[in-house]
A = this chain, B = another copy of it.
């Protein structure tokens, strides 16, 4: 990578936009692409590099794909007008969605066939950390790939966990983290509402449990949303049927029984069925509250 690195970010949602901004701030030449044209225009107004993909693709050093899932990732990389076919040999692709490890390996093999490097790089941290360039990235790939993407990793991440040389390991670690995070959020909802049936109010729950052995990172992060009755979606309920679905699919392929994950998955599916999919994932508590006839803070009786 000689001179100023030339980067394209695909997917300017809340995570991708922040990562693209972080690349700009780090002095990288940064193109932003999204299906929403007005978002692309807004990014260019803020300093994003101009040009259609077909005009700039062969000059790209790095491509960052920050879309929702595996299907969107594949479409960006290999769909109609897919970017990989337009890249020069030696360019590097960094894929940030939570995807199955086998999918990551398949994408990497197809990139390799075109001489394109692939970093399996799921991200964690939310939109605020994305905008601040302070994400956690669980990444796996060859040393060459890490080197090629160093300017992008430096610009976007506070912590890069190098899980190994083999594509798939990053996605595997992300799915392990999502198993825990998804179960912990739902268990927080189960415990907070169980406490309410015994006269423990949510404020006392947070005050006491956050100082006890029953605490978790997710409990401390999400339970205050319930206390405040604020379900503004920092991270949506909808993420969990997808991410725990990946965990359970991978587990099934491995002959691995994951009964606690499966129980949590069902609660998220109830939440979606109740129309809560677009709310913050702390709204999992509403499933328990509605089932048990409890009134959470901020709810109309």
Question: Which residues of chain B have C-beta atoms less than 8 A from A200's C-beta?
Answer: 163, 169, 172-173, 176
Complex CA distance for A197 and B251, rounded to whole angstroms: 8
Complex CA distance for A113 and B199, rounded to whole angstroms: 25
Q: By CB atoms of chain B within 10 A, which of A176, A187, A254 has the most? A: A176
Q: How many copies does the complex hold?
A: 2
**Known contacts A254-B292, A259-B263; A172/B190 CB under 8 A:** no
- Are A173 and B195 in touch, CB under 8 angstroms? yes
With beta carbons under 8 angstroms apart, the residue of B178, B195, B213 that contacts A214 is B178
For the residues of A in contact with B, the DSSP-based class is helix
- Are B216 and A184 in touch, CB under 8 angstroms? yes
Complex CA distance for A251 and B288, rounded to whole angstroms: 12
Say whether A204 faces chain B, with CB atoms less than 8 Å apart: yes
- Are B194 and A187 in touch, CB under 8 angstroms? no
Question: Which residues of chain B have C-beta atoms less than 8 A from A215's C-beta?
Answer: 180, 216-217
- Are B198 and A172 in touch, CB under 8 angstroms? yes
Q: Count of A residues near B, CB < 8 Å? A: 70
- Are B211 and A159 in touch, CB under 8 angstroms? yes
Using a CB–CB distance below 8 Å, which chain A residues touch chain B? Answer: 101, 124-125, 136, 138, 159, 161, 163-164, 166, 168-169, 172-173, 175-181, 183-184, 186-188, 190-195, 197-200, 204-205, 208-209, 211-219, 221, 247, 250-251, 254-264, 266-267, 288, 291-293
